[in-house]
Structure 1
Amino acid sequence: MSPIKESLTVEAQAILAKKAAKYVGLLSTEEKNKALHKLADMLEAKYPFILRENEKDVFKGREKGYSEAFLDRLSLTKERIFDFANGLREVAELEDPTGKVLSNRTLENGLQVEKVTVPLGVIGMIYEARPNVTVDATGLALKAGNAIILKGGSSAIQSNKAIVKVMHKALLETNIPKEAVQFIESTDRAAAQQLFTMKEHIDVLIPRGGGSLISAVVNQATVPVLETGVGNCHLYIDAEANPDKALSVLVNAKTDRPAVCNAIETVLIHRAWLTEHKEELIQTLEENVIKVHGDEAAIAVIPHAVPAEEEDWANEYLSLDIAMKVVDHVDEAIAHIDRYGTKHSEAIMTENVQTAHRFMKLVDASALYHNASTRFTDGSALGLGAEIGISTQKLHARGPMGLEALTTIKYIMSGNGHIR
């Protein structure tokens, strides 16, 4: 088995993907599931090879001075590889999203009208330093009957090439043609920009990464875009929040994996709660080495806190830094989120059901939490299997995008020589 040749142009790869998509769309659920299991088995079997290639990327990343948060997203371990292999198996167990009859009715004239789910066709995936996305996106695309064109960032080029090479080898033992998974090896930005305008070959683009990448795709693409968003996520601790629950959620949402998009970046605290529970809060922050960038009220209470600048309220730290603002009412917290939030994930801690209800109704985000951590905004955590991204837009799909987000609908009419 040989990887995709460098001589293939992006357009040539897109044409191959489009042809393969027709074939994948005809496969049975059983055939697709067997292929996903084969991919998972092969990734586990070849994990030493993938790790060796990943080490090359991490080494270059350290040489270039990438942040620890960036290196965390880039780095693979045996456990991480086995995790995303298991993610493929979880996707295989999910219900096939294609071929569902959403409605079936017969018109007065006898014409039968069916509305059914079908694959999107060819998905273009543009992403940065997360090699797991290569596997997650491929698994979801194939299960939903699609082909996929992958364009990863240059920082993970060796890792992604290795993963795709392993997946191609696995697909040779399945009924899915390896041409259904295309990987653009060129690290030239022009290669990505080609994807933006090939409407005749690509049905949808999904960007996943930092704000600049997403903005570039949204603003330049003529191909329809499923927009994913950066995660400037907030936790609002209300006056009636249980302190044990609030501090536990704060720690989890900030420190579990600070480099991911569903980690919180700002804590909004009701003044009355802070007054009553400041000692517990200070101890929690110190124990977990969380650095606070606060407004005047927060600085007056939190030792070693630094003054927050305007940019701190919009910053996606991806580290153990956090912005903190003291508010006097839930509506003040909502107004702050409206101004600085990215419509990703927002949480409220309160024992007051009416306050929680107001927060849920008025905050505009793809995922909202009452007395729970924002870290659950994840396809696997919410029972969707692997995810292809978190959509923060409102058309077609919103929130963690699993299998259903990679399908569309088709109307099928059956008649008996009907004319209009």
Structure 2
Amino acid sequence: MSTEFLKVAHAAREAAAELAPLPRAPKDHALRVLADALVARAAEIVEANARDVERARAQGTAETMIDRLRLDESRVAAIADAVRQVADLPDPVGEVVRGSTLPNGLELRQVRVPIGVIGIIYEGRPNVTVDAAALCLKSGNAVLLRGSSSAYASNTALVQVMQEALQATEVPAEAVQLVPGQTRDSVKELMRARGLVDVLIPRGGASLINSVVEESTVPVIETGVGNCHVYVDAEADVELAVQILLNAKAQRPSVCNAAETFLVHEEIADAFVPRALEALREAGVTVHGDERIARYGEVVPATEDDYLTEYVSLDIAAAVVGSLEEAVTHIRRYGSGHTDAIVTRSQRAARRFVALVDSAAVAVNASTRFTDGGEFGFGAEIGISTQKLHARGPMGLPELTSTKWIYTGEGHLRTSEGTVVAG
């Protein structure tokens, strides 16, 4: 490993040990100081971000991706507000998950503790730099941040502001670190820093996530690609279904909880599909539909790959299905386990869909866009996990902790005959 990487990794390790025992008050104070600094220095952050945006445009980056990258003073203010919201949240560290007094008199507790050093690898969304730092600091963890090279100037400015703000607090400034370098070598160093980094969280597209999962020697919490579905049931309210679909797809198409496929029951297709195609067309959405969808209007013929694709653009795949069960089969085959929604007036259909769809979040008569840490009341999220171990769905503060067991006795000794109390 390079000297530069080892320097920041060891500094983060030492900072994590200093940060872990801090009570809530100094952590909350540090977050509020950090938020104020972001607002006060918004102009220099936006100036740095403008260099990233200019470079992205010169490279022909799609506007939807530039939207993820862009910062202005209002967005910086919103990021700072998210930090304040994290400060207002309960501190998970020290929470007793469960406890009891054992028959032998030992008092046993399982208590939440920080994980230690968390590495984050993410693509061109500089707000993640601050969101991740805030959540890690609040939960008592140090963080190593490796954003994409497309946002390097923005991330450098943000980390500098945060580190300088933390110098005036009890939280060590070294608890927030930017991994040095812009090449893939620096990513590999983070992925192979077992013993220095306790867990790694990738945030981004399928290729990034798969690469980290397959190559990392550091334990990984897998965050998910957002191939989300909206299923319009036979007993759906047509106008409500159109509004939910339009919001799920077009309100912000570049995010992971945007819908990428809609499925419609054949019994309601005549009423729903023409309205949906019209509304999507007016919103600038291109529909990639099967032959049955194509009967109702002009669409791009859908391929197998369309149903597997997370577009992050104004595109959506579509198909007509013969039953709720067929919709579920489609979701199981092509979905990513992120968020899937049903629109229906039937409680029976809703219950069955919820029972059969094995995703991190399932929505009933609501847009997929609500799968979000902020919307769930967690504050800013570190990511949305689609795995089934430790954390699933939006990852807030509790998901950034581990636990340890504490047992207290009065001289308890374990012998071959059982427990005795010394003295």
Please report the TM-score for the alignment, with normalisation by the length of structure 1.
0.96
User: Quick one: which of 160, 164, 169 aligns to 2:164?
Assistant: 169
Aligned length: 413
Aligned to 1:331: 325
Asked if residue 240 in structure 1 is aligned to residue 235 in structure 2, the reply is: yes
1:34 aligned to 2:29? yes
Q: 1:414 aligns with which of 405, 408, 412?
A: 408
Q: Which deviations, in whole Å up to 9, do the C-alpha atoms of 1:30-86 show, x marking residues without a partner?
A: 110001111110001111101110011111111111111211111112121111110
| Deviation at residue 8 of structure 1 after TM alignment | 5.1
Distance 1:277 1:406 in 2: 43
Deviations 1:153-200 (A, max 9, x none): 101000000000111111011111111111013012111111112221
Are 2:340 and 2:361, in contact at CA under 8 Å, matched by a contact in 1? Answer: yes
CA drift at 1:249: 0.6
Paired with 2:240 and 2:38, the residues of 1 have a C-alpha distance of 39
Q: Secondary structure at the match of 1:411?
A: strand
For the residues of structure 2 that align with 1:165 and 1:9, how far apart are their CA atoms?
A: 17
- Residue 23 of structure 1 corresponds to 18
Whether the 8 Å CA contact 1:84–1:135 is kept in 2: the answer is yes
- Alignment-derived partner of residue 109 in structure 2: 114
Shift of residue 225 of structure 1?
A: 0.6
1:205, 1:38 → 2: CA distance? Answer: 27
7-16 vs 175-184, which deviates more?
A: 7-16
Q: CA RMSD in A?
A: 1.1
Cα distance in 1, alignment partners of residues 294 and 243 from structure 2: 22
State how far apart, in whole Å, the 2-side matches of 1:279 and 1:402 are. Answer: 40
Q: Give a deviation string over 1:242-272, Cα, whole Å, max 9, x none.
A: 1121011111111111000000000101112
The one-letter code of the counterpart of 1:127 is Y
Whole-angstrom distance in 2 between the partners of 1:364 and 1:65: 38
Confirm or deny: 8 A CA contact 2:136 2:400 kept in the other structure: yes
Q: Which runs of 5+ in 2 are unaligned?
A: 415-423
- The CA deviation at 1:343 is 0.4
Cα deviation for residue 311 of structure 1 reads: 0.6
The answer to whether structure 1 residue 308 and structure 2 residue 302 are counterparts is yes
Matched with 1:318 is: 312
The equivalent position to 1:252 in structure 2, one of 240, 247, 252, is 247
Moved more, 97-106 or 329-338: 97-106
Matching of residues 3-402 of structure 1 within 5 Å = 9-302=4-297, 304-402=298-396
Q: Does the Cα contact within 8 Å between 2:5 and 2:180 map onto a contact in 1?
A: no
Question: What amino acid is aligned across from residue 312 of structure 1 in structure 2?
Answer: D
SS in 1 for 2:118: strand
Secondary structure of 1:419's counterpart equals strand
Deviation at 1:288, TM superposition (A): 1.3
Aligned-partner residue type, residue 103 of structure 1: R
Contact conserved, 1:207 with 1:227, CA < 8 A, in 2?
Answer: yes
Q: In 1, distance between residues paired with 2:282 and 2:289?
A: 18
Secondary structure (helix, strand or coil) at the match of 2:412 reads: coil
SS at 1:317's partner residue? coil
Q: Distance in 1 between matches of 2:204 and 2:164?
A: 28
Q: Is the 8 A contact 2:340 2:363 kept in 1?
A: yes
Q: CA deviation at 1:108?
A: 2.3
Output the amino acid matched with 1:185.
Answer: P
C-alpha distance in 2 between matches for 1:413 and 1:252: 51
CA distance in structure 1 between the partners assigned to 2:207 and 2:276 by the alignment: 35
Residue 318 of structure 1 aligns with an amino acid whose one-letter code is V
The aligned amino acid for 2:307 is W
Other structure's SS at 1:272 match: coil
Q: What letter is aligned with 1:236? A: Y
Whole-angstrom CA distance in 2 between matches of 1:291 and 1:195: 39
Please say if residues 157 and 185 of structure 1, whose CA atoms lie closer than 8 Å, have aligned partners that are also in contact: no
Structure 1 moving runs of 4+ over 3 Å: none
What secondary structure does 2:411 align onto?
coil
